[in-house]
């Protein structure tokens, strides 16, 4: 899906004029008449540049752009206003990471130039990030080498988490960060000995305390790598439990970030289906039933319900199979598109 441009203004005439202006330069645009409507568009579209009026009923443009820091942090944000307001301009730059502040009435050439610059900026960030994706996934696969029984785990967790997130209407940019966090959710295990990871039986109390440290070690790595807050939350909190009995912080219910609750369900399910040194993996049907039984205790019931509705009943194709487009069933093609967006079948 190509990244798109969004204009937000409560004046329909303004939206029509701006839309016609951009289309005359070969740029297609989306429009929304309020911040709430605009936020809904972020669930279905990848938006590169947003130009928002400030004075609107309900949520102001400044409040809307501030909200986008969580919803779609890479979107280039432009605020437009009908009068000079220095405090608002400074607040926009400082708290909402606004790229440009424009005045009405706008100059046509200026607004076209700003949108084109914003689009180039967004594409540059994502060109760089495509290389980063290879690095992130390679790191995840390197960590898996410490425990051979987990081969492919990071990719499968990412696919399950993305299927859930997409069906829950989570914004495209946040889905991207969920993918990164899924790949790296166990990156802290780089500091756990192979003896603990590959032991033939249950862990001793001391070994389990060491194993639990992987969430803190992992988030430290993520912070040093300047990963997003969404990815860091997944790495840090994917072992929290809905009833508050998890670790590292004993968070309960919605205190646990939604991205961590999603990945937790994906992680638990895939772990149940894997062969380990101390047990055989459960059949998919049995693992799904076990996940269902954990709803409300270890796992978020709403996320479990969505998981059961959208995740295929049966083994997911391997990563190699995901890349063999012609041989894929429909569920595999959807998984491929979520995991490797540049691929086409």
State whether 305 and 176 are in the same domain. yes
What is the tally of structural domains in the chain? Answer: 2
Share of the chain above pLDDT 70, in %: 81
State whether 53 and 157 are in the same domain. no
Q: What is the tens place of the pLDDT at every residue in 42-87? A: 999 999 999 999 889 899 888 899 899 888 888 989 988 876 566 6
Residue labelled with tokens 């079948």: 345
Order of strands, sheet of 76-81, starting from the edge strand that comes earlier in the sequence: 29-32, 4-8, 47-53, 76-81, 100-103
When pLDDT is cut at 50, 70 and 90, the band that residue 232 belongs to is: very high
State whether 163 and 292 are in the same domain. yes
189 as an active site residue: the answer is yes
19 or 325: which carries more pLDDT confidence? 19
Q: Which of 189, 212, 333, 334 is catalytic?
A: 189
State whether 33 and 83 are in the same domain. yes
Total residues found in the chain within this entry: 345
CATH number at residue 104: 3.40.50.2300
CATH number at residue 302: 1.10.3210.10
Q: Is the pLDDT assigned to residue 286 strictly greater than 50?
A: yes
Q: Which two tokens mark 188?
A: 């802290």
Question: Using only C-alpha atoms, what is the Rg of the chain?
Answer: 22
Cβ atoms 308, 292 nearer than 8 A: yes
Mean of per-residue pLDDT scores for the chain:
83
Give the pLDDT confidence score for residue 321 in this predicted structure: 53
Q: Is the pLDDT assigned to residue 344 strictly greater than 80?
A: no
State whether 59 and 165 are in the same domain. no
Q: Mean pLDDT throughout 196-203?
A: 73
Determine the structural domain holding residue 102 and report its residue range: 4-122
Distance of CA 193 to the CA centre of its chain: 30
Q: Is the pLDDT assigned to residue 196 strictly greater than 80?
A: no
Q: Is the pLDDT assigned to residue 326 strictly greater than 50?
A: no
State whether 22 and 109 are in the same domain. yes
């Amino acid at each position: 899906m190509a990244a798109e441009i969004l204009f937000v203004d409560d004046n329909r005439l303004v939206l029509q004029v701006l839309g016609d202006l951009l289309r005359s330069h070969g740029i297609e645009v989306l429009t929304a008449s309020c911040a709430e409507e605009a936020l809904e568009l972020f669930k279905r579209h990848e938006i590169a540049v947003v130009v928002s009026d400030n004075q609107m009923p309900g949520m102001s443009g400044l409040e809307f752009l501030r909200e986008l820091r969580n919803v779609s942090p890479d979107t280039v944000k432009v605020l437009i206003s009908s009068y000079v307001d220095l405090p608002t301009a400074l607040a926009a730059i400082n708290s909402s990471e606004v790229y440009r502040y424009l005045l009405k009435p706008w100059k046509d050439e200026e607004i076209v130039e700003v949108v084109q610059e914003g689009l180039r900026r967004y594409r540059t960030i994502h060109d760089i990030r495509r290389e980063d994706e290879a690095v992130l996934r390679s790191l995840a696969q390197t960590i898996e080498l410490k425990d051979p029984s987990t081969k492919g785990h990071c990719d499968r967790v990412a696919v399950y988490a993305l299927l859930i997130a997409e069906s829950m209407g989570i914004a495209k940019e946040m889905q991207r960060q969920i993918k990164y966090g899924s790949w790296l959710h166990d990156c802290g295990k780089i500091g756990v000995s192979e003896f603990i990871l590959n032991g033939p039986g249950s862990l001793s109390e001391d070994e389990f305390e060491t194993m639990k440290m992987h969430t803190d070690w992992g988030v430290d790595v993520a912070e040093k790598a300047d990963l997003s807050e969404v990815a860091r939350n997944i790495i840090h909190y994917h072992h929290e439990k809905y009833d508050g009995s998890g670790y590292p912080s004993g968070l309960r219910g919605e205190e646990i970030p939604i991205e961590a609750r999603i990945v937790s369900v994906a992680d638990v399910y895939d772990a149940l289906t894997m062969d380990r040194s101390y047990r055989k993996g459960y059949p998919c049907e049995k693992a799904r039933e076990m996940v269902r039984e954990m709803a409300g205790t270890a796992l978020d019931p709403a996320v479990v319900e969505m998981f059961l509705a959208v995740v295929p009943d049966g083994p997911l194709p391997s990563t190699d199979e995901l890349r063999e487009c012609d041989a894929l069933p429909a569920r595999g093609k959807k998984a491929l598109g979520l995991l490797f967006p540049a691929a086409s079948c």
